[in-house]
Amino acid sequence: MQAIVTAGGIPEPEEPLYEFSQGASKALIEIAGKTMIQWVLDALSGSKHIENVVIVGLDESSGVTCEKPLAFTPNHGGMLDNIQAGTRKALEVQPDAKYVLMVSSDIPSITPEIVDWTIERALETEEDIYYNVVTRDVMEARFPGSNRTYLRLRESEVCGGDMNVVATDTVTSNDEFWTKMMYARKSIIRQAALIGFDTLFLMLIRRLTLPDAVKRVSKKIGLKARAVESPYAEIAMDVDKTYQLEMLAKDLEQRAAV
């Protein structure tokens, strides 16, 4: 499988991480002796399932390295554009690729074992999208005080992971769907319009289980989706705030010292 690492984000002066990036890519912020994206690339390097890696938003001058063959494509603007550009590049490298692993460059605590577990769970079935979630209990046990945003369901509270498996034709042939998804991701009202107010309401009052929620949303959007409950909090521990950067710096320094 090929991995697509999205690294197009550049913090603005008013954003918390700007003091560390100073106008450069967020992916290149140093943490525990390496850039954030280098930690991610090291995890992909050690994966037994990853064959090639595409980086979106950087080029060879960034100095990043990977034991797997690397390809680069420039920042195309928005998240949707970068996902599609990365998928197109991946298909140039391997035209028959059925799935790709989408990985954010700001989850530096992932490991090769976590990458392989994520891919192996996806290979168990044939869906359009595999979306990883982490329960609050798992998240707080591994990263107490991480302050993630959780969706309340009947049996648990979950947050989304930033490493997911997607079918290539889902990305390349569903422009309208992906545009709506990107437009809706920051607004609960837009999300309701996309997935249905009835489904959102049942989620909010904790009447749906995770499988029920996935079934309803899949029917609404017309894609076969599967939510995978991951035991690894690392896939949801992205760096958006200064305290998260400091938290992960300590964690990764301890790992490097072992």
- Helix intervals (H) in 67-145: 79-93, 112-122, 136-142
Q: What confidence score (pLDDT) does residue 221 get?
A: 62
Exposed e or buried b per residue across 134-166, where buried means at least 16 C-beta atoms within 10 angstroms of its C-beta: bbbebbeebbeebebeebebeebbbbbbbbbbb
Q: Which residues of the chain have pLDDT under 50?
A: 184-190, 192-195, 197-202, 205
Q: What confidence score (pLDDT) does residue 188 get?
A: 42
Domain around 105: 2-257
First to last CA, the chain: 30
Number of H helices, E strands in the chain: 11, 11
- Give 143-155 pLDDT, tens digit per residue: 998 888 887 877 7
Tallying the residues shown for the chain, one arrives at 258
Q: What confidence score (pLDDT) does residue 8 get?
A: 81
| Domains identified in the chain, total number | 1
Confidence (pTM): 0.86
For CA atoms 232, 236, 239, 245, the dihedral sign is negative
CATH number of 113's domain: 3.90.550.10
